[in-house]
C-alpha cells in the first residue's frame, strides 16, 4: 500500500534546476525543457520578440495579423497541407500576438514532435502570406472585432485600458480596430515578418514525454541556423503617468441585458518587489474563496452579480489592478459605489493577519496543482524565463510568500489604489 | 495509462469509484447527483442549478462562505456544475488535505440550511447569471433551438431556467428539490489521485455508511414524439454578425450509434473534445464543413457539437455566416455536404484519422488528475466507466458503412431545427 506523499516531497516535485534543462543556442534562442513521462504527449510553447508595440496607430493589429497569417501557407506547404499534417495526427499549433511578443503554442503525441517542430519552423521562417488566404483571415478578424464591439466585458476592459494607459502604448488593443485591420496590406504582413521576427530573445519551452537532449536536437535541427540581421531592438516603453483624478467612461451597447464594470488603476510590474505583496493583497480583495471581499460584498451580500472579482495583471511594463463585475444595467451605480467603498476600506484599514495567512496558504498549497500538467509546467517555465526569475524560482517561491507582512500589503495597496484616482469603465445598454 | 479502478456501492445505494494515480501529490474528489434540468417541470425550470448555488450557502457545521474559504486555504481548487442530467461538485486538493473535501460533501448532502435571506440574495445572483448569458447571441439562439426541438421532453429548457420561474421559485420549492434528489441512492462519489484505496474506502464508509437510503425516485419522463417536419426559426438581436444553428435529434450517450455519430461529427466539423479539463481540442480546418463553408467564404467559422446525455439530445452545427453572405447560402452548402456524406462512403483513411484524433485528445486529457477524476463519475451519469475505457476501442470498430448509415438515419432535414440569429444592427444580412 502506498502512502500519500509528504509536504516536503510535494515541494521537491516542483520544477527546479536539476530537472529543468536550459540552453542558449548560438543564434540567441533560449530553450527550456522538462521531461514528463506520465503521459504520451508533448507541449511546446514560447514567444518571439515581435508584438503590437511595433504597430503604428494606423495599422494597429499588424503584429497579430502577421502572427495568425503565418500558418496560412509556407514555402513548403499550403494552408490545407499545413492543417492536414497537424489534424491528421491530432496535433495543434497556433500563433497570436500581445504587446511585446508573438506567442505560439502547440501540442502533439510525442511521436509527432518532429512534425510539430517542422511546422513551427516553417511558419516562422518561410510564410508565404498567400493573398486569398490573407483575405479570408481578414474577414475572420473583422468578424471577431464586430463580436468584440458587442461584448460588454471586452469593451469595459478595453475602455479601462484606454483610461489607465492614456498616452501609453498599453492603451491600444493588440487586435486593432476594424479600420486598422482594413488598412493592412499583404505587403505590410510580409515586411513586418521580414523585419521583426528573429531568433534574438526567442524562447521555446518543451514539456512532455521526451528527453531534454532529444528535444534540444529537434529545435537545433529546424531553428538552429535561423538568423535575421535586421531584427530591431525591442522598443522602450515611455513612463506611465498615473491618474490624477477618477475618470468614468461609458460605452453604450444597445440591446444588452447586463452591463460590465471595470474599476481600478495601474499596478506594479512583474519584477517590482511590490509584486508578491500586491498579489496577496489582490487575493484578499477579490479572489480568495468565493472572490474575496469583493465577492462577499457585491455577490453574497448584495446579490448584485454572478461574478465580481479583482485581478492583478503584471508584466514587463506597468500593469493594472482592477475589480470587474457583471450587473443588471439598473444596478451599475449601486455596484460601482459598493466596489469603490470596498477599495477605500481595503487601502484605509488594510488586511488582517488571518486574511493574509489564508492567502499565503492558498498560494503555496496550490502550486502542485498548477504544475501538474504539461501545459501548466510549460507556462511556469515561460514565466521564469520571461521575467528572469531563476530556475529555482518555484523552490524559493513558498518562502517569498511566507515572509510578506500585513504592513507590506497595505503599503503596496496604498501605492497603487487611490479611491479618488480610479478608472471606472462601464459597457452596457 | 493504468485503468484499474475500485468500484463499490454502499448498502444505502451510494456508488463509489476510486482510482489511484501516484504521478503527483494531488487528489481530486467529485460528488455527483443524478438531477439536472431534465428533472424540472414548467414553473420550476432552473431549480436544479439554483440548488447547486444554495449548496454553497452553508450548513450548521460549515456556515456560508466558510466552505469555499476552507478549501482555498488549503490551496485547493473547486467548482460545481449543473447540466441536463446531473449536478456535480468537485474539489482538487494537495493529497494530504483531502479529508476536508470529503467531510464537506458528506455534510452538505443533508445539512444545507436554505436560509430564506440567502435564498433571496441568491435569486438575484442567478438572475444576473441568466442576464449575462442573454448578452450572448449564441445563447439566445441555442435556447430558441432547444425549445423548438423539444416540445415535450424536459430537455426543452436551458439549465439556467426561465426568468419567470427564477422570479417565482420559493425557498420551500428549493429545499424540497434538494431533499428529494440529494440522497445517497441518487449519488456517486468519485476520487482519483494519490491515496490508498483501503484508507479512502474506510473514510467514505465512515462518512456515508449511516446515511439512510432515500425513497425510490419518480422521474419526470416525457418522451419527445417524432418530429413532424423541418422547423425554421429566427431570433433577432443586436450586433452585426449572423449565426446559423442546425440541430438534429441525436442519440443517448450509451447508444451503440454514438460511436459512428462521433466519427461522423469528426469528419464533418472536426473532433469534439469531451474532456472537461486538459486544455482545448484541436482545430477543424481540414474538416468537410470547414472546407465547404469557410474556405469557400460562405462562413467565417463552423463547429459541431456532440454531447453525452442520458436521453437523446441534439447534434448541433453552428455556423458564423460570412459578413457578405446570406444565411441561405451557407445552409445550402451545408446541405450539399450532408448529402455527400449520405450518398458516398467515407474512406477508411478518413475514419482512421478521426480515431487518431480521438486518441490524441484522450491522451491530452489523461495528464490532468482532475480530468481523470471527472471521467470516473461523468461516464456513470449516462453509461458506466467502461464507456470511457473502451471508447477508443469502440471507435476503432466503426466502418465507412456505419458512418453512412448514421448520416442517413440522423441527418434528415425533415427532423431538424434550423435557427438563424439575425442582427438588427448595421450590416445584418437578411
Are B286 and A83 in contact (CB < 8 Å)?
yes
Are A290 and B194 in contact (CB < 8 Å)?
no
Are A147 and B357 in contact (CB < 8 Å)?
no
Chain B positions in Cβ-Cβ contact with residue A38 (cut-off 8 Å): 23, 367
What's the whole-number mean pLDDT along residues A20-45? 95
Report the residue from B77, B278, B286 with minimal CB separation from A84.
B286
Task: Write the DSSP symbol of residue B227.
Answer: P
Q: Write the CA distances from A241 to A57, A162, A163, A237, A421, integer angstroms.
A: 20, 13, 11, 12, 12
- For chain A positions 9-48, those within 8 Å of chain B (CB to CB) are 9-10, 13, 36, 38-41
- pLDDT digits 0-9 by tens, A229-284: 999 999 999 999 999 999 999 999 999 999 999 999 999 999 999 999 999 999 99
Buried b (16+ CB within 10 A) or exposed e, B199-232: ebbebbeebbeebeebeeeeeeeeebeebeeebe
Confidence check: pLDDT of B279 > 80: no
Size of interface A-B (CB pairs under 8 A): 225
Report the residue from A5, A80, A306 with minimal CB separation from B129.
A306
How confident is the model at residue A1, as a pLDDT? Answer: 37
CA distance B368 to A15: 17
Record the pTM: 0.95
Q: Is A303 near chain B, with CB under 8 Å? A: yes
Nearest one of B95, B24, B27, B103 to B70, comparing CA atoms: B103
Contact between B382 and B251 under an 8 Å Cβ cutoff? The reply is no
- pLDDT digits 0-9 by tens, B68-119: 899 999 999 999 999 999 999 999 999 999 999 999 999 999 999 999 999 9
CA distance A272 to chain B (A): 25
Task: Tell me the angle at which helices B47-54 and B171-181 cross, rounded to the nearest 10 degrees.
Answer: 90
- For chain A positions 184-203, those within 8 Å of chain B (CB to CB) are none
CA distance A92 to chain B (A): 5
- pLDDT digits 0-9 by tens, B89-98: 999 999 999 9
Confidence check: pLDDT of A4 > 50: no
- Residue A6 sits at φ, ψ, to 5 deg, of -80, 170
Q: Which residue of A has its CA nearest to B285?
A: A83
Q: Is A247 near chain B, with CB under 8 Å? A: no
For the beta carbon of residue B378, count every other beta carbon within 10 angstroms: 26
CA distance B335 to chain A (A): 22
Chain A positions in Cβ-Cβ contact with residue B76 (cut-off 8 Å): 365-366, 369
Are B238 and A255 in contact (CB < 8 Å)?
yes
Residue B285 is inside which H or E element, if any?
Answer: none
How confident is the model at residue B48, as a pLDDT? Answer: 98
Report the residue from A289, A301, A373 with minimal CB separation from B121.
A301
Buried b (16+ CB within 10 A) or exposed e, A347-386: beebbeeebbebbbbbbbbbbbbebbbbbbbbbbbbebbb
Are A90 and B196 in contact (CB < 8 Å)?
no
How confident is the model at residue A3, as a pLDDT? Answer: 40
How confident is the model at residue B430, as a pLDDT? Answer: 37
Confidence check: pLDDT of A46 > 80: yes
Residue B423 is inside which H or E element, if any?
Answer: strand B416-423
Confidence check: pLDDT of B212 > 50: yes
Chain A positions in Cβ-Cβ contact with residue B74 (cut-off 8 Å): 361-362, 365
How confident is the model at residue B221, as a pLDDT? Answer: 87
How confident is the model at residue A12, as a pLDDT? Answer: 60
For the beta carbon of residue A402, count every other beta carbon within 10 angstroms: 12
Chain B positions in Cβ-Cβ contact with residue A143 (cut-off 8 Å): 241, 300-301, 320, 322-323
Q: Is A303 left (phi over 0), alpha (psi -120 to 50) or beta?
A: left
What's the whole-number mean pLDDT along residues A366-370? 91
How confident is the model at residue B3, as a pLDDT? Answer: 65
A335 SS3 class: helix
Chain B positions in Cβ-Cβ contact with residue A300 (cut-off 8 Å): 64-65, 121
Chain A positions in Cβ-Cβ contact with residue B20 (cut-off 8 Å): 2
How confident is the model at residue B4, as a pLDDT? Answer: 85
Contact between A246 and A343 under an 8 Å Cβ cutoff? The reply is no
Amino acid at each position: 500500500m502506498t502512502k500519500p506523499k509528504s509536504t516536503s516531497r510535494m515541494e521537491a516535485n516542483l520544477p527546479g534546476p536539476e530537472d529543468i534543462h536550459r540552453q542558449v543556442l548560438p543564434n540567441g534562442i533560449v530553450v527550456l525543457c522538462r521531461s514528463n513521462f506520465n503521459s504520451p504527449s508533448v507541449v511546446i510553447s514560447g514567444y518571439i520578440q515581435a508584438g503590437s508595440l511595433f504597430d503604428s496607430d494606423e495599422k494597429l493589429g499588424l503584429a497579430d495579423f502577421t502572427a495568425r497569417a503565418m500558418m496560412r501557407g509556407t514555402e513548403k506547404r499550403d494552408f490545407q497541407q499545413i492543417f492536414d499534417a497537424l489534424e491528421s495526427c491530432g496535433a495543434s499549433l497556433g500563433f497570436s500576438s500581445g504587446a511585446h511578443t508573438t506567442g505560439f503554442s502547440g501540442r502533439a503525441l510525442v511521436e509527432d514532435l518532429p512534425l510539430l517542430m517542422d511546422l513551427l519552423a516553417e511558419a516562422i521562417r518561410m510564410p508565404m502570406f498567400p493573398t486569398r488566404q490573407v483575405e479570408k483571415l481578414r474577414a475572420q478578424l473583422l468578424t471577431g472585432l464586430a463580436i468584440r464591439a458587442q461584448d460588454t466585458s471586452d469593451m469595459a476592459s478595453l475602455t479601462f485600458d484606454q483610461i489607465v494607459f492614456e498616452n501609453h502604448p498599453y492603451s491600444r488593443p493588440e487586435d486593432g480596430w476594424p479600420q486598422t485591420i482594413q488598412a493592412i496590406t499583404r505587403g505590410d504582413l510580409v515586411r513586418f515578418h521580414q523585419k521583426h521576427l528573429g531568433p534574438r530573445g526567442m524562447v521555446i519551452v518543451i514539456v512532455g514525454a521526451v528527453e531534454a537532449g532529444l528535444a534540444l536536437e529537434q529545435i537545433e535541427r529546424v531553428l538552429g541556423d535561423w538568423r535575421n540581421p535586421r531584427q530591431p531592438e525591442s522598443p522602450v516603453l515611455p513612463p506611465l503617468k498615473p491618474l490624477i483624478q477618477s475618470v468614468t467612461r461609458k460605452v453604450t451597447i444597445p440591446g444588452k441585458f447586463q452591463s460590465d464594470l471595470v474599476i481600478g488603476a495601474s499596478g506594479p510590474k512583474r519584477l517590482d518587489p511590490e509584486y508578491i505583496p500586491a498579489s496577496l493583497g489582490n487575493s484578499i480583495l477579490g479572489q480568495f474563496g468565493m472572490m474575496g471581499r469583493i465577492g462577499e460584498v457585491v455577490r453574497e451580500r448584495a446579490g448584485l452579480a454572478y461574478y465580481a472579482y479583482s485581478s492583478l495583471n503584471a508584466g514587463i511594463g506597468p500593469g493594472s489592478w482592477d475589480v470587474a463585475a457583471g450587473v443588471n444595467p439598473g444596478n451599475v451605480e449601486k455596484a460601482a459605489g459598493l466596489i469603490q467603498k470596498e477599495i477605500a476600506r481595503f487601502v484605509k484599514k488594510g488586511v488582517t493577519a488571518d486574511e493574509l495567512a489564508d492567502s499565503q496558504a492558498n498560494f503555496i498549497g496550490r502550486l502542485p496543482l498548477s504544475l501538474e500538467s504539461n501545459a501548466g509546467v510549460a507556462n511556469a517555465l515561460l514565466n521564469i524565463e520571461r521575467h528572469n526569475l531563476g530556475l529555482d524560482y518555484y523552490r524559493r517561491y513558498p518562502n517569498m510568500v511566507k515572509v510578506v507582512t500585513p504592513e507590506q500589503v497595505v503599503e503596496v495597496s496604498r501605492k497603487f489604489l487611490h479611491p479618488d484616482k480610479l478608472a471606472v469603465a462601464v459597457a452596457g445598454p | 495509462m493504468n485503468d484499474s479502478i475500485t468500484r463499490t456501492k454502499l448498502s444505502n445505494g451510494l456508488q463509489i469509484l476510486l482510482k489511484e494515480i501516484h504521478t503527483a501529490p494531488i487528489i481530486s474528489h467529485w460528488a455527483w447527483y443524478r438531477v439536472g434540468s431534465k428533472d424540472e417541470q414548467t414553473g420550476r425550470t432552473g431549480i436544479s442549478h439554483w440548488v447547486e448555488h444554495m449548496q454553497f450557502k452553508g450548513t450548521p457545521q460549515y456556515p456560508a462562505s466558510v466552505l469555499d474559504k476552507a478549501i482555498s486555504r488549503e490551496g485547493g481548487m473547486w467548482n460545481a456544475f449543473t447540466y441536463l442530467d446531473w449536478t456535480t461538485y468537485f474539489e482538487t486538493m494537495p493529497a494530504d488535505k483531502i479529508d476536508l473535501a470529503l467531510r464537506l460533501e458528506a455534510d452538505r448532502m443533508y445539512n444545507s440550511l436554505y436560509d430564506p435571506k440567502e435564498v433571496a440574495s441568491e435569486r438575484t445572483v442567478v438572475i444576473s447569471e441568466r442576464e449575462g448569458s442573454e448578452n450572448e447571441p449564441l445563447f439566445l439562439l441555442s435556447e430558441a433551438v432547444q425549445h423548438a426541438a423539444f416540445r415535450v421532453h424536459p430537455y426543452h429548457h436551458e439549465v439556467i431556467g426561465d426568468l419567470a420561474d427564477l422570479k417565482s421559485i420559493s425557498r420551500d420549492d428549493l429545499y424540497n428539490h434538494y431533499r428529494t434528489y440529494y440522497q445517497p441512492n441518487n449519488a456517486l462519489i468519485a476520487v482519483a489521485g494519490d491515496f490508498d484505496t483501503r484508507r479512502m474506502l474506510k473514510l467514505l464508509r465512515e462518512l456515508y455508511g449511516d446515511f439512510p437510503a432515500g425513497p425510490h425516485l419518480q422521474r419526470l419522463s416525457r418522451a419527445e414524439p417524432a418530429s413532424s417536419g423541418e422547423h425554421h426559426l429566427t431570433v433577432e438581436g443586436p450586433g452585426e454578425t449572423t449565426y446559423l444553428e442546425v440541430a438534429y435529434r441525436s442519440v443517448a450517450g450509451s447508444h451503440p450509434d454514438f460511436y459512428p455519430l462521433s466519427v461522423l461529427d469528426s469528419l464533418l466539423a472536426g473532433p469534439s473534445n469531451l474532456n472537461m479539463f486538459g486544455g482545448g481540442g484541436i482545430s477543424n480546418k481540414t474538416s468537410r464543413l470547414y472546407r465547404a463553408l469557410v474556405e469557400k467564404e460562405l462562413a467565417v467559422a463552423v463547429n459541431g457539437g456532440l454531447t453525452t446525455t442520458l436521453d437523446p439530445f441534439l447534434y448541433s452545427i453552428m455556423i458564423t455566416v460570412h459578413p457578405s453572405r446570406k444565411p441561405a447560402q451557407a445552409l445550402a452548402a451545408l446541405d450539399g455536404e450532408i448529402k455527400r456524406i449520405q450518398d458516398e462512403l467515407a474512406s477508411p483513411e478518413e475514419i482512421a484519422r478521426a480515431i487518431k484524433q480521438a486518441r490524441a485528445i484522450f491522451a491530452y486529457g489523461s495528464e490532468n488528475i482532475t480530468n481523470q477524476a471527472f471521467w470516473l463519475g461523468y461516464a456513470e451519469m449516462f453509461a458506466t466507466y467502461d464507456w470511457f475505457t473502451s471508447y477508443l476501442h469502440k471507435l476503432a470498430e466503426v466502418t465507412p458503412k456505419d458512418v453512412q448509415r448514421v448520416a442517413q438515419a440522423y441527418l434528415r432535414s425533415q427532423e431538424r431545427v434550423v435557427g438563424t440569429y439575425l442582427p438588427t444592427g448595421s450590416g445584418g444580412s437578411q
